[in-house]
Amino acid sequence: MKHIILTSLILTCLVGCGARTFTNTERAAIEQLLLSGAVDNALEKLDIPQVAGEKTYLDFTNLKSYDIEYVKAAVRARFAEIGANLVESAEQADYVAEISSGALGTEYQSNLLGIPAIPVPGSPTPLPELALARSIEQTGIVKLLVFVHSNGKIVTTGHYYGKVERDESFVLWFRSQPKDDIRTRWEAADEKLKAKSAQKAD
């Protein structure tokens, strides 16, 4: 046991380490971006040609999920993009689209190669963890159900899945990021805005 503790102390002094600053807000930005990105990915698949040009009411009565206001706004935006004329009540509508969520959450997995934190007898503070290598995988996943009906008859129903992933790997003090859908999405969004600005300038 003494040899393990001594070895840990020596290696801790030799190996550099880094840590992400913890969030001071109620929820981390990464978590929120994973969830909203998954919703965006799912809704990009939504295409219901029957509602194009038609009066459509979006019914969110059965929608229960995290970040519910973002989900509602994103669904409205997507229906508008595919040509639906959104109305304020079912009585005004030719089509009613019921929206519900089968899942909206995050998953986290961390793998460590090294020495975990070691309890010290008689001390409330353990020896720090020594990570020679670590991998972190974060995933946001959503499942949305969209059920469209008209005058009591089904028009279409579909399940729309979306996923956003973010991976990090550390070997000693070297960091790599094999996948970061969050960064990819925001870079694409920035490029899209730049392209629109360029078109307006022309």
Q: What is the pLDDT of residue 20?
A: 57
Buried b (16+ CB within 10 A) or exposed e, 32-57: bbbbbbbbbbbbeebebeebeeeebb
Residue 17 has pLDDT above 60, yes or no: no
Q: What is the pLDDT of residue 57?
A: 98
The CATH T-level fold of domain 26-201 is Rossmann fold (3.40.50)
- 53's tokens: 């040009």
d(CA 64, CA 72): 11
Instruction: Indicate the pLDDT class of residue 9, thresholds 50, 70 and 90.
Output: very low
The pLDDT tens digits for 145-198 are 999 999 989 999 999 999 999 998 888 778 888 889 889 988 988 998 888 888
Report helix, strand or coil for 87: coil
The pLDDT tens digits for 33-88 are 999 999 999 999 999 999 999 999 999 999 999 999 999 999 999 999 999 999 99
Q: What is the pLDDT of residue 11?
A: 47
Torsion on CA atoms 44, 66, 31, 142, rounded to nearest 10: -40
The answer to whether 31 and 106 are in contact (CB under 8 A) is yes
Entry pTM: 0.78
Q: What is the pLDDT of residue 23?
A: 58
Strand 55-59: give its sheet, edge to edge.
Answer: 85-86, 55-59, 95-115, 130-150, 153-171, 174-180
The residues with which 81 forms a beta bridge, in sequence order, are: none
Report helix, strand or coil for 52: coil
Q: What is the pLDDT of residue 22?
A: 59
Residue whose pair of structure tokens reads 């290598």 in the numeric block = 133
Q: What is the pLDDT of residue 4?
A: 45
Reference 130, options 12, 20, 6, 18; nearest CA is: 12
The residues with which 104 forms a beta bridge, in sequence order, are: 142
Residue 7 has pLDDT above 90, yes or no: no
The amino acid occupying position 67 is D
Tell me the domain boundaries of the chain: 26-201
The pLDDT tens digits for 102-127 are 999 999 998 888 888 888 888 888 88
